[in-house]
Amino acid sequence: MSVVVITGSAGLIGSEAAAFYAGLGYKVIGIDNNMRQVFFGDEGSTLWNRNRLEQTYQQKYEHQHVDIRDKDSINRIFAKYGTDISLIIHTAAQPSHDWAARDPITDFGVNANGTLNMLEAMRHHCPEAVFLFTSTNKVYGDSPNRLPLIELETRWEIAPDHAYSDGIREDLSVDQNMHSLFGASKLAADILVQEYGRYFNFKTAVFRGGVLSGARQSGVQLHGFINYLMKCAMSRTPYTIFGYKGKQVRDVIHSNDVIAAFHTFYQQPRAGGEVYNLGGGRTSNISMLEAIRLAEEITGEKMNVTYSEQHRAGDHIWYVSSLERFISHYPQWSVRYDVKKIMEEIYAENKARWGVPQ
C-alpha cells in the first residue's frame, strides 16, 4: 500500500492534492484541524472541503483532526504507516502578513515548528519518502520592490532589459530586507526543508508560490487575493485596495497546475533540497486594477471598491515568478490555466455557495 500524507488537506492545495492522489488509488491521510477558521473566522472555515473529500473518496481518504504543532500526534500517524508513506505534501500554514503580527508565537509555531515536526517524523519513519513544501514568494521579503519598476496605466512592470524581465529567479536574495513576521516564519520552514534535503540527502523540494488560486479556496481579505476578489464581486461585498495605486502585480497559478508540478517531481524526485519558484509566470499575471475590471466583466456587476493609501508591510509591488528552473528540470510541465480562465472557473463553481442570483 502506497500512502500519501497531506497537511492542510482541507485547504486549496491540500484538497486538490488529496483528490488527485485518492483518484489515482493511493491511500491519502489528510491532516487538518481547520485552523483557518481560527485565523479568519467562519468565512475561512474549510470544513465544507473536508466533508467533500470524506464523502467523495471514503475508503481512500482518511482524515486526522490533528494540529501539526502536536509532535506526538504527528509521530503516531507516521509510525502507523511507516515506510508505506511514499509522499508527504506539507501545505498547512498560517498564511497572512497581518495575522502573524497579531500573534507571532502562534504564527511561528505553525509555520516553522510544525514543519520541523513533519520533517522529523519523515526522518524517523519514512526517510525514503518525497517531501514537498509549499513555501511562498514572501521569503524574498521586500527585495522585489528594489527592482527597477516602471509605472504603466494599469500596472507596475519591470524594466524590459532587466535580468528578471521574464520573472524573478531563485537567486534573488532573501537577506537584508523586511519580510513581515509571516515571511520570516515561512523562510525558517523553507530553510529547514532545504537543510533536511542537503544534510540528510533526503528527497525534499521547496515550492515558493505566487498567488495559488482555484475554485475551492476559502478566500478571505487577509489571504486568497483572486478568490476573495471574485467572492466580493459575486456577493456584492465592498472591496478595499491597499496601496500602490492598485497597480501591484501578482502572478496567479491554478491549484491543478500546482499539483501537476508536485506529481511531476514525485515521479522523478531529486535529492538534496531543491528550490523552485512556482507561479503563473509570464503566462498568468495581473494587477489589482486589471483583476477588478476582469471580475466586473465576468460577473456583469460593478464592484464597490475603496482605496487605502496604506500598503501592507513587506508587500510586493511587482512579483512574477520565473519558471525557468523547474522547467529546465521537468520540461514536460507547463502552466495550463491563465488568470482569466481561473476567475471564470471560480465564478462558475461558486454561484450557489456565494449567493449569486440565478
> Around 214, how many Cα atoms within 13 Å sit in the side-chain half-sphere?
22
Portion of the chain with pLDDT greater than 70, in percent:
96
Q: Dump pLDDT digits (tens) for 290-306.
A: 999 999 999 999 999 99
- How much is the pTM? 0.94
Burial class from Cβ neighbours inside 10 Å (0-12, 13-18, 19+) for residue 53 reads buried
Cβ atoms within 10 Å, residue 233: 29
Burial class from Cβ neighbours inside 10 Å (0-12, 13-18, 19+) for residue 172 reads buried
Mean pLDDT to the nearest integer, 74-94 = 97
Q: Mean pLDDT over all residues of the chain?
A: 93
pLDDT category at 220 given cuts 50, 70, 90 is: low
Q: Dump pLDDT digits (tens) for 163-213.
A: 999 999 999 999 999 999 999 999 999 999 999 999 999 999 999 998 999
The pLDDT assigned to 352 comes to: 77
How far is 89 from 118, CA to CA, in rounded Å? 10
The answer to whether the CB of 279 falls within 8 A of the CB of 209 is: yes
How is residue 251 written as a grid cell? Answer: 502572478
**Which is it for the CA torsion 252, 42, 50, 97, positive or negative?**
positive
How far is 173 from 27, CA to CA, in rounded Å? 39
Q: Is the pLDDT of residue 356 over 80?
A: no
The pLDDT assigned to 358 comes to: 52
Q: Is the pLDDT of residue 83 over 90?
A: yes
Under CATH, which architecture does the 3-349 domain have? 3-Layer(aba) Sandwich (3.40)
The pLDDT assigned to 222 comes to: 55
The pLDDT assigned to 258 comes to: 98
Q: Dump pLDDT digits (tens) for 97-148.
A: 888 999 999 999 999 999 999 999 999 999 999 999 999 999 999 999 999 9
DSSP code of residue 82: G
H or E, element range at 131: strand 130-136
- The number of residues in the chain equals 358
Tell which wins on pLDDT, 258 or 216. 258
pLDDT category at 357 given cuts 50, 70, 90 is: low
